[in-house]
Amino acid sequence: MPNTFFSRVALSAMAFLFTGPSAVAQDSKTPAELPAPSSGKAIVCIYRVYRFTGSASHDDLFVNGSHLGRLLNSEYEFMEVPPGTVVISGLAKMYYGSVVMSAAAAINQAAQKENERARFEAEAGKTYYFKWTAGTMGTMIKVTPEDPKVGAKEMSKLHLSKPVDDKEGAEPATKDN
């Protein structure tokens, strides 16, 4: 009799393990879509597709001095802005885990100042897409404008970045620009 009980528990656990992820996978296939901008506003969306190169680096991103978030692979963030000049800046960081930091990464980390990534003139009612990429060791970080159709398509396959509190505390940006 005890063998039957344990067999049922084991089968139930296996059923839960194998059916749980399939339900989550079905939910994650829903394409991401941005809302329409509010009246008199524009939307700025910054996204990062998955790439192995530069995957250890990330930016604390700021739009017009307001902290937008932190992008990791396959994530996006967006913010409404008033029409006019929009400045996207970032504070580069690296994830190391248990890996020893290289000299180049240490120098990049030590610099820790907010760097302008993009500047443009926003028009009310429009959505602007910017693609974030990085090279090795947190170098060659770029935030480049994308065609709205291309940006919307690439962004739709990604997920919204977790709030900064879920990753590690955001550090305030310095304004050396």
Domain coordinates in residue numbering, the chain: 1-30, 42-166
Per-residue pLDDT, averaged over 112-122, amounts to 83
Is residue 40 predicted with pLDDT exceeding 70? yes
The span from the CA of 89 to the CA of 68, in Å, is 10
Which of 158, 155, 101 is CA-nearest to residue 128?
A: 155
What is the predicted pLDDT for the residue at 54?
63
Predicted local confidence at residue 124, as pLDDT: 97
pLDDT-derived band of residue 11, with 50, 70 and 90 as boundaries? very low
pLDDT tens column, 76-106:
999 999 999 999 998 877 655 444 444 455 5
Q: Which residue is it, tokens 């509010």?
A: 38
At residue 92, the pLDDT reads: 74
Is pLDDT of 16 > 60? no
Q: The domain 42-166: what is its CATH number?
A: 2.60.40
Is-above-0.85 flag for pTM? no
Read off the pLDDT of residues 122-137 as tens digits, 9 standing for 90 and up: 999 999 999 998 876 6
